[in-house]
Amino acid sequence: MSAVTDQDHMNHIDRMDHMDHMDHMDRIEHGDHNGQEDSGPVGSADSVDHEGHSRPADRPGHSGEEDRVPEPEAPEASESHDSSASVESSAEPWESGESGESRGDGEASTTDATPENHAPSECDPEGDVQRDARVKAGDGGSGRMDHVIREDHADRTDHADRMDPGDRGGDEDQGGPADRGGHEDRTGRTDWADHPEAGPAWDDGLIARRVAEGAAGAEQAAAVNLAEPRLGEPRLGGPQPVTPPAYDGPLRSRLDALRELVGLSRARLDSRTLAEAGRVLDEATARRRLSGQHTVVAIAGATGSGKSQLFNALAGVTLSETGVRRPTTAAPIACSWSDGAAPLIDRLGIPPRLRRRPAQHADADGLLRGLVLVDLPDLDSAAVQHREQAERVLALVDAVVWVVDPEKYADAVLHERYLRPMAGHAEIMFVVLNQIDRLPGEAAEQVLDDLRRLLDEDGIALGEYGEPGANVLALSALTGDGLAELREALGQFVAERGAPIRRISADLDAAAWRLRPLYATGRRTGLSEAARDEFSARLADAVGATAAGEAAERAWLRNANRACGTPWLRLWRWYQDRCEPSTGRLPVRTQADEEATARQRVEQAVRTVADRAATGLPAPWAQAVREAAVRGAQGLPEALDELAARTGLPPGRPPRPGWWPAAVLVQASMTILQIIGGLWLAGQIVGVMAPNLGVPVLLMVSGIVGGPLVEWSCRMAARGPARRYGMEAERRLREAAAGCGRARVLDPVAAELLRYREVREQYVRVIGAGAGAGAGVGGR
């Protein structure tokens, strides 16, 4: 069992490609090493050395491990290359600690050379873990050859090569010591950015403080990662017929609604906010293109919980390396129970080298037909890239088996960072309490109950009594206790073939929930009639409609009085005016003023109406409404100026009531009566006429009394028409101003509100009819 045999077995179809990429990686330093490796058995002295070191040290642990595995080595003759290779390689233990140490030291010395701060040295343990777990290409090519874990790592780099730049960048971070600080920081915040509710709880000082440093960069990186779901090249897709999962009516319409929602919102919301929704859509599309006959189930959990053990136990052969060295598994490994799953696995970015088949006897009953099991790296070790890989795959699989063990089942990392944010995905979750063989007697039951309690506190619905929810099981992958139940549950789950749809649906729920503050409001929104009226009234104030009306009314009244007044009074007034031209009589200006409209009132009116309209709207939409109002208000004062000048007074001469000539006539006749009476009296005094005192005095008195009487009654009578005239003037201004305001401000605002309402309806559709009522967005 040498490096060479391993290599040979590993040399399946992807080999060329793989080596190409390794070449690419290695050529910088170890170009010739590569050549040797390719050619086969020319294992360098190094590799022999390594084996010499590692064997004795590893033996005890390894043999213990072998004892535990029920069927340690059962390679079927008909097994594929993958399977046998992995079996053999499993006999080949992990890399020795010493070699890791020595290499690490070399690396550490280079790190120490950077003098700025001691951040690099702080990060060293992680670097060490990384180096132990995943061999760097630069560590000497031969080392990689004899250990399957190294092979895995090479795969990983190879895989990284093929990945998009975002992922690649993450990998390369580890190389440069200068980047270490930032890289280490990526540990936590990456997902907190996605799950804000989990964030603050973990920012507690001494323990987790370091995690949060420089989170911004990591967030962005994460955003990039999330925003670009990858599709592996369907190289191995083959000609197999693909039956995509049938998205049933509601889900499809919800997805369509979300797509439309994103489209409608693009102009209003920034793209980062919509990235998550876009990701869900892309994933849904991508998953839909692929096989619906298969269910991709990932095994996730903390380091040392026995994920790989469970994986192997389900597969019936040792496909994934297990061990005591933490963390063990560095790259995801897939195992497919039936054919045609290659495109699905491509999507997960798992290279063909890491694809396995289960042992035949394990699949004898065909119970798990259609299952694609993925063994993930750990989620909580100091090796950050493990977590990144695991999270990347977790976002793409159809279902998850969370493996916990009695020691770690209450870890904050697992619950706060993963289970709580994924509480909505309960239906596609299995929670497995592994290693119950380590618990005495009834303690297993106790722990399981406690685990159920914790899950319940996390908000995860438990699938008890036939209700939909997470399946919680206790088992021991080592002794096989309880494994049958898991197989059965998994088999049933896979046979239903509902997982992809449920996954998408849960993703959709989560995305919709996260978008909720952007779309939903608890209050009624819209511009009330009262607010519109108030706006019009304020505009009317701004152009001075009331004052204009009053002024018109009084002017009309004044003119009427003058027209119907007694001539004597007019004469007296005229005389007074002539005597003191300065008293109060200012020349009446008729020219139009510039800026006749009160700018501040228009501004205030627009602001108020925009505020009213924006009340209760989610922030981006409120902003849009305000902007619409402000945009509309530009030029509004000028328009009002012009309008006020144009429609200040009713056109033409002020209307005169029909009785006016009569009144003037009566007034004139009164004056004539006075004059006649006066003349008559004068004639009597002179003696021209017969002395008859009564009649002329009567005439004169009636003229003198009647004149003011007529004037007074005319004034009374003129009030009505004057009022009408003033009202008319006011109304004209008011209406013109309101019309102007409506066209320029209210209509755009209303359009914006309509747009929001449309989007909200779309959002309600995304939430789905059932959840819609609960979300309180208001019915359609």
34-73 residues in contact with another protein (CB under 8 A) are 57-58, 60-61, 63-64
* Residue in this structure with the two tokens 């005192």, named with its chain if needed: 693
Selected range binding another protein among 272-280, 495-503, 580-588, 743-751, rule: CB under 8 A: 580-588
Shortest spacing between CB 336 and another protein, in angstroms: 29
Shortest spacing between CB 594 and another protein, in angstroms: 8
Q: What token pair was written down for 239?
A: 């000609």
Nearest to 642 by CA among 591, 593, 589: 593
363 versus 550: smaller Cβ distance to another protein: 550
Q: What token pair was written down for 456?
A: 């319940």
Shortest spacing between CB 636 and another protein, in angstroms: 13
State the SS3 of 721-740: HHHHHHHHHHHHHHHHHHHH
For residue 205, state whether it binds another protein (rule: CB under 8 A): yes
56 versus 774: smaller Cβ distance to another protein: 56
For residue 601, state whether it binds another protein (rule: CB under 8 A): yes
Shortest spacing between CB 630 and another protein, in angstroms: 10
Shortest spacing between CB 410 and another protein, in angstroms: 3
Shortest spacing between CB 65 and another protein, in angstroms: 9
25 versus 602: smaller Cβ distance to another protein: 602
28 versus 588: smaller Cβ distance to another protein: 588
Determine the Cα–Cα distance for residues 413 and 772; give it in Å rounded to an integer: 32
State the SS3 of 174-216: CCCHHHHHHHHHHHHHHHHHHCHHHCHHHCCHHHHHHHHCCHH
Shortest spacing between CB 603 and another protein, in angstroms: 5
Q: Which of positions 79-118 make contact with another protein (CB under 8 A)?
A: 97-98, 100-101, 104, 108, 118
Could you say which of 210, 656, 724, 757 contacts another protein (CB under 8 A)? 210
Give Cβ neighbours of residue 567 (< 8 Å, ≥ 6 apart): 671
Q: Which of positions 384-403 make contact with another protein (CB under 8 A)?
A: 384
In sequence order, what DSSP letters do the residues of 118-147 get, joined into one string? Answer: SHHHHHHHHHHHHHHHS--GGG-HHHHHT-
Question: Which residue spans within 583-652 are E strands per DSSP?
Answer: none
Determine the Cα–Cα distance for residues 310 and 322; give it in Å rounded to an integer: 10
Could you say which of 28, 113, 586, 690 contacts another protein (CB under 8 A)? 586
283 versus 416: smaller Cβ distance to another protein: 416
Shortest spacing between CB 375 and another protein, in angstroms: 17
Could you say which of 86, 291, 293, 381 contacts another protein (CB under 8 A)? 381
| 609 sits in which H/E element | helix 599-614
Q: Which of positions 118-147 make contact with another protein (CB under 8 A)?
A: 118, 121-122, 124-129, 132
Q: Which of positions 299-358 make contact with another protein (CB under 8 A)?
A: 302-305, 324-327
Q: Which of positions 524-563 make contact with another protein (CB under 8 A)?
A: 541-544, 546-548, 550-551, 554-555, 558
Could you say which of 26, 185, 411, 507 contacts another protein (CB under 8 A)? 411
Nearest to 408 by CA among 328, 307, 518, 500: 307
Shortest spacing between CB 598 and another protein, in angstroms: 3
Shortest spacing between CB 152 and another protein, in angstroms: 17
Shortest spacing between CB 706 and another protein, in angstroms: 27
Determine the Cα–Cα distance for residues 284 and 500; give it in Å rounded to an integer: 9
For residue 200, state whether it binds another protein (rule: CB under 8 A): yes
In sequence order, what DSSP letters do the residues of 729-769 get, joined into one string? Answer: HHHHHHHHHHHHHIIIIIHHHHHHHHHHHHHHHHHHHHH-H
Could you say which of 87, 149, 211, 297 contacts another protein (CB under 8 A)? 211
CA quadruple 138, 139, 142, 148: dihedral, nearest 10? -100
64 versus 238: smaller Cβ distance to another protein: 64
Q: What token pair was written down for 390?
A: 């695991």
Q: Which of positions 449-488 make contact with another protein (CB under 8 A)?
A: 450, 454
39 versus 109: smaller Cβ distance to another protein: 109
Backbone angles phi, psi at 299, to 5 degrees: -105, 115
For residue 705, state whether it binds another protein (rule: CB under 8 A): no
| 432 sits in which H/E element | strand 429-433
Q: Which of positions 708-747 make contact with another protein (CB under 8 A)?
A: none
- What burial class does residue 74 get, using C-beta atoms within 10 Å of its C-beta: 0-12 exposed, 13-18 middle, 19+ buried? middle
Nearest to 167 by CA among 400, 345, 330, 391: 391
Q: Which of positions 669-698 make contact with another protein (CB under 8 A)?
A: none
For residue 780, state whether it binds another protein (rule: CB under 8 A): no
For residue 209, state whether it binds another protein (rule: CB under 8 A): yes
340 versus 544: smaller Cβ distance to another protein: 544
The size of the interface with another protein (CB under 8 A), counted in residues, is: 100
For residue 269, state whether it binds another protein (rule: CB under 8 A): no
Selected range binding another protein among 313-321, 343-351, 407-415, 740-748, rule: CB under 8 A: 407-415
Q: Which of positions 219-258 make contact with another protein (CB under 8 A)?
A: none
| 45 sits in which H/E element | helix 45-68
State the SS3 of 272-323: HHHHHHHHHHHHHHHHHHCCCCCEEEEEEECCCCCHHHHHHHHHCCCCCCCC
Tell me if residue 718 falls in helix, strand or coil: helix
Shortest spacing between CB 714 and another protein, in angstroms: 18
For residue 410, state whether it binds another protein (rule: CB under 8 A): yes
